[in-house]
């Protein structure tokens, strides 16, 4: 597949963020770049119903266009760090990484599990959910404010609309929060991933570039996992 097509796929991912992030963006923000749309949550978290937690340091919000059954964003409210690239955060600001991890594994874990049960099934245990949630950054984020993705593995969602969406969360482009600094990718080097064949994250079956077939398969995989998990 040509480099031109690779770049097109990457552009699809970046341009997809032009979907509005909030239902009622205040007038003072409407003329800003779509890449700044997360800023409203940081500055006025109390104003948005999809914010499920906030304090002086962080905001936890439901992604308005989730790419899985459950898809949350955890954002720092530190004005000095909110615009730092996530790879630089993981390389040079380990204290923030550790703080975010402590929120996910500690203070916010109950909220996250409850949210997952609300989105998937009330019959799921914390143990089952713990193995079905991933946490990480995009190596090339489409939004300016630093945001950590907390999401279930299924990738079953109407908002998962194209191959680029899927690849961005199931390839090294999605940098897990526990990735050692020595294994971090170099900025701008992962766009070739978007030309690769689509592969099921769970069973490894490949679908070429047939996104519709992959989506149907992902639903089957989710149904199978859920049936087995609630029967444990």
| Burial of 164 (C-beta count, 10 Å sphere; 0-12/13-18/19+) | buried
Q: What is the mean pLDDT of residues 204-222?
A: 98
Q: Is 203 annotated as a binding residue?
A: yes
83 given a catalytic annotation: no
pLDDT of 15 strictly over 60: no
Q: To 5 degrees, how large is the angle CA 64–CA 227–CA 219?
A: 45
Q: Is 217 annotated as a binding residue?
A: yes
Task: Determine the Cα–Cα distance for residues 112 and 60; give it in Å rounded to an integer.
Answer: 9
State the CATH number of the domain containing residue 226.
3.30.428.10
Q: What is the pTM of this model?
A: 0.86
| Burial of 149 (C-beta count, 10 Å sphere; 0-12/13-18/19+) | buried
| Domain extent for 62 | 3-230
Q: Is the dihedral of CA 92, 34, 103, 167 positive or negative?
A: negative
Catalytic-labelled residue, pool 93, 147, 149, 165: 147
Task: Determine the Cα–Cα distance for residues 147 and 121; give it in Å rounded to an integer.
Answer: 26
Q: What is the mean pLDDT of residues 142-157?
A: 98
Q: Is 200 annotated as a binding residue?
A: yes
Q: Is 130 annotated as a binding residue?
A: no
Report the chain's mean pLDDT, rounded to a whole number: 89
Task: Say how many domains are in the chain.
Answer: 1
- In the prediction, which pLDDT does 187 show? 76
Task: Determine the Cα–Cα distance for residues 24 and 29; give it in Å rounded to an integer.
Answer: 10
pLDDT of 70 strictly over 90: yes
pLDDT of 62 strictly over 50: yes
């Amino acid at each position: 597949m040509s480099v031109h097509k690779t770049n097109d796929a990457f552009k699809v991912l970046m341009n997809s963020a032009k979907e509005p992030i909030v239902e009622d963006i205040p007038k003072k923000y409407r003329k800003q770049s779509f890449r700044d749309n997360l800023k409203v949550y940081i500055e006025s978290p109390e104003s948005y119903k999809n914010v499920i937690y906030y304090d002086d340091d962080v905001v936890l919000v439901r992604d308005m266009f989730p790419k899985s059954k459950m898809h949350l964003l955890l954002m720092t409210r530190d004005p000095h760090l909110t615009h730092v690239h996530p790879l630089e955060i993981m390389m040079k600001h380990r204290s923030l990484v550790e703080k975010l991890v402590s929120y996910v594994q500690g203070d916010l874990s109950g909220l996250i599990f409850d949210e997952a049960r609300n989105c998937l099934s009330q019959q799921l245990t914390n143990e089952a959910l713990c193995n079905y949630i991933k946490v990480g950054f995009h190596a090339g984020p489409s939004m300016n404010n630093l945001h950590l993705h907390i999401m279930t593995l299924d990738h079953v969602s109407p908002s998962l609309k194209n191959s680029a969406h899927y690849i961005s969360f199931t390839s090294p482009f999605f940098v897990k929060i526990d990735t050692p600094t020595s294994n971090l990718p170099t900025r701008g080097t992962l766009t070739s991933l978007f030309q690769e064949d689509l592969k099921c994250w769970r069973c490894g079956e490949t679908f070429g570039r047939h996104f519709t077939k992959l989506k149907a398969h992902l639903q089957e995989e989710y149904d199978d996992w859920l049936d087995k998990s609630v029967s444990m």
